[in-house]
Amino acid sequence: MFWQNRSFHIGVTTPGTGAQQATVDLLNAFTNTAVAAQGSTGSCVANTQSWDIGVRGDTGVGGGNQLGSGGSDIRLSPTHSVIVGYPGQNNSANNPAVAKQYCNGSRIPPELGAAGFYGYHVPPGTNESNVPVPVFNLTAGATVDEGNNWINITWGPLALTNPSTNEVLGDYSLTAASTDAIDHADDSVAPSTDFFGHSRPQGSEADMGAVEFVKAAAADMEASPLSLAFGKVGRTRTSAAQFVTVSSSGSATLTLTTPTIAAPFALASGSQSCSPYPRNLAPGQTCRIYVTFTPSVLGDATGTMTINSNDQSPDAAAEKLIHFSGTGVKLSASPTALTFLAFVGGNFGPTQNVTLTNNGPGAINGPITTTITNMTNGVIFNVQSTTCPTTAAGSLAQGASCTVSVRFRSPTPFTQGTGTLNITDTEPATVTVGLTGSRLF
């Protein structure tokens, strides 16, 4: 991380007159204006010129102008850095918003004298042993030392605390506002610990700079899936329950309160349920929120559930909203799954029944047809008989029921297979029943 690495040069700002020597100042590299005095030790003076890094031959912050033998621009190539003058390559030229910036300054702390005298400005002086006193000027061969023989512009020692207040100076730890630096370094080259020994990364990626940002303990919630599809469900009937898994993925306890949900969708019970509320989940724990669908009318229905918690993370709004869909139909099937077990032989075993009910409104006129699809592993499911209407003249009154008898066989022993029973009326609507069959010997 390079930020506001200042660039100066020494120059004469007030020419000497008579016996008075010239005033020598510290000047900004690009504007040739005098640098203002520090108001306090460690403070950074406004309007100074910054030049983070460069190579010999550079003429400005914008980049190198020294050309190699091939005519290419000779420059450094930083990546994943906070630095000015090197756009692209995952670099940021924005203020990294560290906890407290520090700028070194003059030899004499400003707190010990007038800021205008003890800043960067060099007071004029005279050479009393050499009369007449020559007008002072700088030449290319001038030697600058710290003995006040020519000029006394020298940097003061780096300080850890303010000499007057003992306030700690300079803290280059990242803050919550350091959004361009947090999680933007390169994990492949970043060390495994930061300057203070904290493990990194603390987030999805390492942070730019020497100090990894350690977030305060906070709750974070993850929910999966973010949508549930209930399919076709008989009007006034309640679907099988489906669930959303809630995970506490933060560093503090996640507290869940009662989710917000509206009909025709409703909260239900089940194993590992998050209820009763409020429910506290320690980091790493999970629970389930169960939901059912009970359509009161025919047709498509949609809805949402809001999972209420103390999650304040950036993705909280997206994670807490679960979307639902389903369709209300006249025909419903019970049960919604059949399981068969054959001990020996390859013949069809006993039948099992699926009861179909017309939940209305009105009669279902015309045939109710059945098909079996998606059979696996060579097993065979078969509709042996049905009491449902099978012709155009038939009908199933509102509230009435009929049955479909299904059987199973497997040509080979030690085999398990699955299939799907599809039942279609003339609305048209299709309800499905899951089939599973196993043969032992």
Q: Please check whether the two domains, 221-329 and 332-439, share a CATH topology.
A: yes
Taking a C-beta distance cutoff of 8 angstroms, is the pair 10, 32 a contact?
Answer: no
Which residue type, as a one-letter code, is found at position 186? D
CA dist 220 and 316 (Å) reads: 8
**Half-sphere exposure (CA, 13 Å, Cβ side) for 205?**
16
- Residue 113 has a pLDDT of 60
- Residue 155 has a pLDDT of 59
**Domain segments of the chain as ranges:** 1-181, 221-329, 332-439
- Residue 145 has a pLDDT of 44
Mean pLDDT of 214-241: 94
pLDDT digits (tens, 9 = 90+) for 44-57: 888 888 888 877 76
- Residue 359 has a pLDDT of 96
pLDDT range class, residue 29, cuts 50, 70, 90: confident
pLDDT range class, residue 119, cuts 50, 70, 90: very low
Name which residue leads in pLDDT, 126 or 180.
Answer: 180
- Residue 6 has a pLDDT of 85
- Residue 154 has a pLDDT of 53
For the ranges 130-144, 195-209, 213-227, 416-430, the lowest mean pLDDT is seen at 130-144
Query: 325 is written with which tokens?
Result: 């869909």
Q: Is the pTM higher than 0.75?
A: no
CA dist 125 and 107 (Å) reads: 17
- Residue 34 has a pLDDT of 80
Give the whole-number percent of the chain exceeding pLDDT 90: 57
- Residue 255 has a pLDDT of 98
Q: 117 pLDDT exceeds 70?
A: no
- Residue 354 has a pLDDT of 98
Q: 123 pLDDT exceeds 50?
A: no
Report the top-level CATH class of 221-329: mainly beta
- Residue 158 has a pLDDT of 72
Mean pLDDT of 159-180: 86
Per-residue DSSP letter, 161: B
- Residue 112 has a pLDDT of 67
- Residue 322 has a pLDDT of 98
pLDDT digits (tens, 9 = 90+) for 275-328: 999 999 999 999 999 999 999 999 999 999 999 999 988 789 999 999 999 999
pLDDT digits (tens, 9 = 90+) for 367-408: 999 999 999 999 999 999 999 999 999 999 999 999 999 999
- Residue 1 has a pLDDT of 86
pLDDT range class, residue 122, cuts 50, 70, 90: very low
Taking a C-beta distance cutoff of 8 angstroms, is the pair 83, 51 a contact?
Answer: no
**CATH number of the domain located at residue range(s) 332-439 in this protein:** 2.60.40.2310
**Sequence-ordered list of residues with C-beta below 8 angstroms from that of 367, at least 6 positions apart, any chain:** 388, 389, 390, 391, 392, 394, 426
Q: 127 pLDDT exceeds 70?
A: no
CA dist 188 and 207 (Å) reads: 12
Mean pLDDT of 102-106: 79
- Residue 129 has a pLDDT of 54
**Sequence-ordered list of residues with C-beta below 8 angstroms from that of 88, at least 6 positions apart, any chain:** none
- Residue 68 has a pLDDT of 45
Q: What average pLDDT does the structure give for the chain?
A: 85
Q: 201 pLDDT exceeds 80?
A: yes
Give the whole-number percent of the chain exceeding pLDDT 70: 83
pLDDT range class, residue 140, cuts 50, 70, 90: very low
| Dihedral of the alpha carbons of 199, 200, 201, 203, in degrees to the nearest 10 | 40
Q: 208 pLDDT exceeds 60?
A: yes
